[in-house]
Amino acid sequence: MKVVTDARELPSGCAFVPTMGALHAGHASLLSIAQQKNKNVVLSIFINPLQFENAQDLAKYPRTPEADLALAASHGATHVWLPSQAEIYPANHRVLSAGPISYLYEGKSRPGHFDGVVTVVRRFFDLLKPSVAIFGEKDFQQLKLVEEIAGDVEIIRAPIIRESDGLAMSSRNIRLTAEGRAAATVISRALSSSKTEGELRTALSTEPLFTLDYADFIDEESFAPASPQTVHVRAIVAGWINEVRLIDNMQMVQRS
């Protein structure tokens, strides 16, 4: 595995896995998919300041560089890219607009977040020129917005990887206390047991440590509220435990 800081040292046409580090088994699953797509697998580690609307959240974001390199090496990355701020954001860089969907849900609670996401992803693509990029479904709204700005880069959707108790894997989970970690399982339990928004919100309300932001059924394509006629319905949830923001989602087979 080769570790580089300059995109010009990377193979174009590769399979690309962009990350912010603090890697876990969910990221390993993305690398596994990438290996099936291309012999060259590039994983980037870049904590993008533009997608943090809160300076304290940026400061608290977990950083595990040595463990990250070990995981990348053991799960098939041929290259790890550690770009500098100057490489990604030169003096004349322009912040992109993520569009109407970016103002909903996560975007409503985190103003400017998705503008930062699409700006950095588009910059990655322009510098690296990958053939495919792999993104997890856990950040489903992000995935949808990345697909809209991908251009000729094929976006591969990767399923959510969960802990044995159902909690969706996230780099932020390590910031939870033991009590908070146990409480967080309410999210996946509520998603898997609910057939309506009302049931979902009721199930989430049973956990006193969980502060709800939103719990809704949406149309996967438009992000409009789901109706009885919606073909592809997804339940999306966000909230806080121990001041840590947690998100999750699940495709709904049917509505009742």
CB under 8 Å to 77, separation ≥6 — which residues? 1, 17, 31, 41, 42, 43
Q: Tell me the fold of 2-158.
A: Rossmann fold (3.40.50)
C-alpha dihedral over 101, 105, 108, 109, to 10 degrees? -150
Q: Is the pLDDT of residue 140 over 80?
A: yes
Q: What is the pTM of this model?
A: 0.94
Q: 24-56, pLDDT tens digit by residue?
A: 999 999 999 999 999 999 999 999 999 998 898
Stronger pLDDT, 247 or 253, i.e. the higher one: 247
Q: Where are the domains of the chain?
A: 2-158, 171-248
Catalytic residue numbers read 27
Note the pLDDT of residue 256.
44
C-alpha dihedral over 141, 89, 66, 63, to 10 degrees? -60
Q: 55-94, pLDDT tens digit by residue?
A: 989 999 999 999 999 999 999 999 999 999 999 999 989 9
Domain 171-248 has CATH 3.30.1300.10: yes
